[in-house]
Amino acid sequence: MEMQKNKHKKLLIGIIVSCFTLLAIYLGLAIYFMNHFYFGSTVNCINVSGKTVHEVDEEMPNEITNYTLKLKERGNNEEQVKGNEINLKYNPDGKVQELKDKQNPFNWLMSLLGTNDSTITNVVTYDDELLKKSIDNLSCFNSNNVNEPQNPSFEYTDDGYKITDEVYGNKIDKMALHDSIVNAILNGKTTLDLDSKDCYEKPQYTSKSQEVINTKDTLNKYVSSKITYNFGDKTEVIDGSIINKWINVNNSLEITLDEPKIKEYLNSILNNYNTVGKRRNFVTSLGATVQVSGGDYGWLINNNDEEKELISSIKEGQSVRKEPKYTQSAMSPGSNDIGNTYVEVNMSKQHVWFYKNGSLIVEGDVVTGNVSNNTSTPTGVYSLKYKQRDATLKGQGYSSPVNFWMPFNGGIGIHDASWRSVFGGRIYLTNGSHGCVNSPYYLANTIFNNINEGTPVVCYY
């Protein structure tokens, strides 16, 4: 029993001694922290644990003088901003003493748990002009080292358009970098990751942006178009393989069609099917083949209207089979567009033939334009403009009434010539007309009664 009492007594004494020891330690450290900073205290990220305000004020200038901020850039590049280059100076302005005053020495135990009264920043000053100059001198702003950010682009393939991912590049937002560096300096940071602080300019869109996806869908709609032009037994097809070369997409994802390129391409194919004024091989009534060029007869496509319709079809994503719009039509499709109804004027032979639906209706000698005074009848293939009974032909020094008037080239036409009793031969060389085809009454009458507006008139030597 006595032994048990002794054990209790010793235990009690041990507890009392331990408590007094801990109290002594606590009070001792409380006295210590009356003049010293808490454990874990920092000034501009520099550990000042256990130091006095005076010691901090003495040591900080050296720390600040040696300050360097490391900039971590894309591509594993690193650069530095040094304190001595921007006139960085320690300037506590009473803030260090304020921090110490906030630290109740008897609350030193709480500092071990971390408190808001253990850290202070913004105790330095710097020259902002020098900082801006230092930033300007960074190699990341050298134009040779800068890659601009790029929006996603669009690549045409056999399967339509594909999105090519955006390019982030390494172009820095100078204002953002300046602000991030200032913040790091004032807070005593020694490393600044430019990526994590959003110091880089970004592309406006990414490949996942809905606007980009919508643009791709519109592009694929455009190139899904297929326009087939029918030219008799020939066709010309405009599809995505051609259309994609006309499409432009700007940085704002606006889609435009290159109208000058469209016009150039359309002209290159459609003009092949225009026959007005082109050289033709013509088989004469005498069996020879002659080449006849000039005149106003033939096919003439309205390229401007076709361009508008083509652009509309592309924007609607249409598949269309069509004949082009013609400003002027010929009697027969294709390049051999004269057909089998025409007037043939052989000026060397001074003879005219008129065929209708392949059958010879009438033929006879004529007198064409006067060669000696430069009023020769022009060669070429022309279209009969109209026909008129009982017209009076007027010109400089003459007024001639005719029974049958069939103009095909301005004021030049086929008509009867009652003032002539002889036709053919070599009359036209010195006593020809003012350019018209003077015909005997029977010839002009028969042609007049069988010919229609638009019929080709072939004139050749």
pLDDT tens across 85-115, in order? 999 998 888 777 777 677 776 766 666 666 5
The Cα 229–Cα 274 span in angstroms is 14
pLDDT cut 70: percent of the chain above it: 90
Q: What is the CATH number of domain 342-460?
A: 2.40.440.10
What's the confidence (pLDDT) of residue 50?
Answer: 75
Annotated catalytic residues are 415, 436
What's the confidence (pLDDT) of residue 390?
Answer: 95
What's the confidence (pLDDT) of residue 333?
Answer: 83
pTM here is 0.73
Has residue 144 got a pLDDT over 80?
Answer: yes
What one-character-per-residue DSSP string does 347-411 give? TTTTEEEEEETTEEEEEEE-B-B-TTTT-PPPPEEEE----EEEEEEEETTEEEEEEEEEEEETT
What's the confidence (pLDDT) of residue 32?
Answer: 63
Has residue 359 got a pLDDT over 60?
Answer: yes
pLDDT digits (tens, 9 = 90+) for 308-358: 999 999 999 999 999 999 999 999 887 789 999 999 999 999 999 999 999
In order of 82, 192, 314, the CA distances from 44 in angstroms are 16, 15, 65
What's the confidence (pLDDT) of residue 415?
Answer: 98
pLDDT digits (tens, 9 = 90+) for 23-70: 666 665 556 666 787 777 777 878 877 778 777 777 788 888 889 999
Q: Where are the alpha helices (DSSP H) in 33-138?
A: 53-65, 95-102, 108-111, 128-136
Question: What's the rounded mean pLDDT across residues 396-400?
Answer: 84
CB 201 within 8 A of CB 150: no
The domain limits of the chain are: 211-279+296-328, 342-460
Query: Which among 313, 322, 303, 323 is positioned nearest to 243, based on CA atoms?
Result: 313
The Cα 38–Cα 126 span in angstroms is 28
Question: What's the rounded mean pLDDT across residues 158-163?
Answer: 96
Has residue 14 got a pLDDT over 70?
Answer: no
Has residue 434 got a pLDDT over 60?
Answer: yes
Question: What's the rounded mean pLDDT across residues 5-23?
Answer: 66
What's the confidence (pLDDT) of residue 29?
Answer: 59
3-state helix, strand, coil in the chain (%, to 5): 35, 30, 35
CATH topology for the 211-279+296-328 domain: Ubiquitin-like (UB roll) (3.10.20)
Helix 259-270 to helix 303-316 angle (10° resolution) is: 120
CB 185 within 8 A of CB 69: yes
- Under DSSP, the state recorded for 260 is H
The Cα 3–Cα 14 span in angstroms is 17
Has residue 155 got a pLDDT over 70?
Answer: yes
**Coil, helix or strand for 457?**
strand
Beta-strand relationship, 342-346 and 456-460: parallel
What's the confidence (pLDDT) of residue 7?
Answer: 66
State the chain's mean pLDDT as an integer: 90
CB 92 within 8 A of CB 100: no
